[in-house]
Amino acid sequence: MSVVASERRDAVLAARRLVVKVGSSSISGRNAAQIGPLVDALAAAHARGTEVVLVSSGAIATGMPYLRLDARPDDLATQQAAAAVGQNVLMVRYQDSLDRYGIVAGQVLLTAGDVENPTHRSNAQRAMERLLGLGILPIVNENDTVATHEIRFGDNDRLAALVSELIGADLLVLLSDVDALYTRPPHEPGAELISHVPIGDDLAGVELGDIGSAGVGTGGAGTKIAAAKHAAAGGTPVVLTSTTRVADALGGEAVGTWFDAAPRARRHGG
């Protein structure tokens, strides 16, 4: 094992608090069965004493079949309706899976305004800290039912980075349908896997394509890179990998792409 891989493994296993983000396409539709293995990995980290926060997309995608929709709706009102139905179903699916481990989930719905407004931000932070202190696993999503086009996060990669910053996470894991960041879309000839992104690397040579959209999500490689850089600049290292490799990622294995974090002077609780 290389020095970088060894340091990475140590950092993952030593993380006292971590945020995991999963996209719509990974846990909805034909991939809904991936919720079980995802929960297995989260529960394993929880069992070793790590405080875990899940940022989960998927409310709109999960609600679509119940509204007899074959494609993601374009109009805001129908998106809100799908989210209202889907968020409820999604939480039930997570809790049913978490019941196998005796873990209770807590739903946290945020808008961009909640993070930008100091009072709302403080309230959200206090609620999250209390949930974690009580041994609850917070499941965070954008509040799609009340969010408008003008104030949306736009994607939950950014939300996950902001949540990591909010709670002082020791690690952020961004999951999608692709196992790592590549120099160009991985299906194209000559694409090379990027295993390590040092501090300050602007990734200028990377040709961006979509990651994990599958017609139901809103994120892509660009949003994940931006989110990873935001979290890393704030002192939280990041792993970018596929949902199918989440257990390996949380076990400290050298999977996906690792973003080094800038030094952070003050950690939570210290």
Ligand-binding annotation for 229, yes or no, is no
Q: Are 24 and 60 in contact (CB under 8 A)?
A: yes
Q: What is the largest CA-CA distance in the chain?
A: 52
| Residue 234 phi, psi (nearest 5) | -85, 0
Ligand-binding annotation for 156, yes or no, is yes
Distance CA 235, CA 241 (A): 19
Question: CA 185 from chain center: how many Å?
Answer: 21
Beta strands in the chain (DSSP E): 17-22, 51-56, 105-110, 137-142, 171-176, 181-182, 193-194, 196-197, 238-242, 257-259
The residue assigned the tokens 């969010």 is: 147
* CB-based burial label for 135 (10 Å; 0-12, 13-18, 19+): exposed
Ligand-binding annotation for 224, yes or no, is no
Ligand-binding annotation for 213, yes or no, is no
Residue 146, number of CB atoms within 10 A of its CB: 13
Among residues 138, 124, 134, which one has the least CA distance to residue 166? 124
Binding site feature residues for substrate:
57, 144, 156
Binding site feature residues for ATP:
21, 176-177
Binding site feature residues:
21, 57, 144, 156, 176-177
